[in-house]
Amino acid sequence: MTGQYNLVLIGIDTLRADHLSCYGYHRNTSPNIDKLAQESMLFKNCFSQSQRTAPAFMSIMSSLYPTFHGVMANISQKGRAWQIQRKAKTLAEIMKDAGYATAAFTEDAMLFPEIGFSKGFDIYSTTPHPLSRPENHPLVKWILSKQSDRFFVFFHTYAPHSPYLPPEPYIDMYDKNYNGAIPRSFEELSKLNTTFYNLMKKLKSDEKEVERLKALYDSSINYVDSFIGWLITFLKAKKLMEKTVVVFTSDHGEEFMEHGGLYHKKFYDEILRVPLMIRLPKSEKSGVTEQIVRSIDIAPTVLDFLQIKIPDMFQGESLLEACEKNLGLIAPAEYAYSSALRTSHYKYIFHAAGKSKNAPETELYNVALDPEEKENMSDVSPQLVERLHFELNEELTKKNLPRPPHTIFYIAGKKTVQRIKNFIN
């Protein structure tokens, strides 16, 4: 017996919240996403549970911290992958059990079905499709074929991920006269004899080139925004919008030298703060909240609204009341063996193996006074470090879940390894 409503979960890879206009960005990157935000519950401070794709998305899907879902890291360049733990139940499995038709449209790399991402999906597509012709996108075709059923669809795109190459007319929209070393097409990129990642490393001390990267990233967001605008108009035209919960989020952000680097490997806010908006049918609840929420809260929130039982092992909380009351949440993040905790006042980071590779190192920022996380206070506030470390562990181990044995395996095949190499670097 299925409920009344469908679910569309939109996960835009590498989308930092503060580069969307509705999160205060100075460029008009997101007119269509902003419109969706106005009809939604808009979470100004949502934090991802990891800075990397696979662990972050698995936390969204399973409502578990990485330690507990087991996917502690992205697949390595040698094809070494972490797999979801046996007992974890994904949102797709729960929706399928509740009678929904389920499908996922992702774009290859990182969200490998073998890791556990395809669990519960009737269809799991990893073939990339251009967003510039939305009417031909299989996501749209699938929705059309299911409009009389109840459905759950997950849509994921890497469009804002490096090498930031949106098509015309987006590519130069924020710097029409650019004339530097960064390629303007995949063809130019393939002639470079280096990877985009290595090119970024080489250019990172050149401010003008970093500005170009930012401009490309922002125009990639405009590219995604046009697709989202088309999709929402389509759902409205098909009268599906009033029968559908729409969730818009990301897995992590992106750094542009705020902490001396590019890409997304650190635990700072430019990387961990992600957009989150949840639009209920008929905009039943809308509003804005500044309180801390987490990616793991998405699944329990939609199940709560759909009146489907929330599994006991979920570590997230329903956010249905979040625009009216303070839920007092704190947000851990993990990658491999390092972790962090974001509270409304502090960011605490624990590097299991510090720079010396043999001793743990910690960082502590008073984000209420130092939002850019510039002044590490961990040496001067050892008691606070101790308290936050305790809170982090308490939060991670809440519900007394046993830590599962982590399953690491190799996804075989040269093709897989090659596509990982092409993608990460």
Residue 251 or 317: the one with the smaller Cβ distance to Zn ion is 251
| Residue count, binding to Zn ion (CB under 5 A) | 3
Residues 243-282: x/- map of binding to Zn ion (CB under 5 A)? --------x-------------------------------
**Among positions 53, 106, 118, 339, the unique one binding Zn ion when judged by CB under 5 A:** 53
How far is 203 from 188, CA to CA, in rounded Å? 17
Judge if the upstream peptide bond of residue 138 is cis by omega within 30 degrees of 0: no
Nearest Cα to 60, choosing from 73, 44, 49, 71?
A: 49
Under DSSP, the state recorded for 202 is H
Please list every residue from 309 through 328 that binds Zn ion, using CB under 5 A.
none
The encoded tokens of residue 305 equal: 């609204």
CB of 264 to Zn ion, least distance (A): 7
Closest CA to 52 of 421, 299, 333, 408: 333
Q: How far is the CB of 245 from Zn ion (least distance, A)?
A: 23
Tokens of 278: 């949840």
What does the block give as tokens for 135?
A: 């009417």
Residue 242 in tokens? 């009033």
Tell me the torsion sign for CA atoms 68, 82, 254, 127.
negative
- Report whether 80 contacts 106 (CB < 8 A): no
Tokens of 417: 């390894």
Question: Which is closer to Zn ion, CB of 13 or CB of 225?
Answer: 13
Q: State the minimum distance, in angstroms, from the CB of residue 41 to Zn ion.
A: 23
Which 8-state DSSP code applies to residue 98? T
Nearest to Zn ion of 53, 339 (CB atom): 53
Q: Which is nearer to Zn ion, 70 or 253 (CB)?
A: 253
Distance of alpha carbon 99 from alpha carbon 423, whole angstroms = 35
Residue 49 found at the interface with Zn ion (CB under 5 A): no
Taking the least distance from each CB to Zn ion, the nearer of 6 and 49 is: 49
CB of 393 to Zn ion, least distance (A): 26
**Between 250 and 289, CB nearer to Zn ion:** 250
User: Which residue's beta carbon is nearest to the bound Zn ion?
Assistant: 53
Least separation in angstroms between CB 111 and Zn ion: 9
Tokens of 182: 């960064």
Residue with tokens 């990639």: 220
Q: Which is nearer to Zn ion, 53 or 301 (CB)?
A: 53
Distance set, CA 221 to CA 53, 167, 175 (Å) = 18, 12, 15
Using the contact rule CB under 5 A, the part of the chain among 50-58, 77-85, 304-312, 397-405 near Zn ion is 50-58
Quick one: 107 or 363, whose CB is closer to Zn ion?
A: 107
What single letter denotes the amino acid at residue 102? T
Query: Of the listed pieces 51-59, 96-104, 164-172, 288-296, which binds Zn ion according to CB under 5 A?
Result: 51-59
Nearest CB to Zn ion, comparing residues 251 and 373: 251
Nearest-CA neighbor of 349 among 258, 337, 159, 66? 337
User: Could you give the CA distance from residue 3 to residue 6 in angstroms, rounded to a whole number?
Assistant: 8
Judged by CB under 5 A, the stretch of 13-21, 59-67, 92-100, 371-379 that binds Zn ion is 13-21
Q: List the one residue from 8, 13, 156, 318 that touches Zn ion (CB under 5 A).
A: 13
In the complex, least distance from residue 157 CB atom to Zn ion, rounded to whole angstroms: 10
CA–CA distance, 293 with 45 (Å, rounded to integer): 6
Q: How far is the CB of 251 from Zn ion (least distance, A)?
A: 4
Q: CB of residue 54 vs Zn ion: minimum separation in angstroms? A: 8
Residue 113 CB, shortest distance to Zn ion, in Å, is: 17
- Total count of residues recorded for the chain: 425
Binding site for Zn ion (CB under 5 A): 13, 53, 251
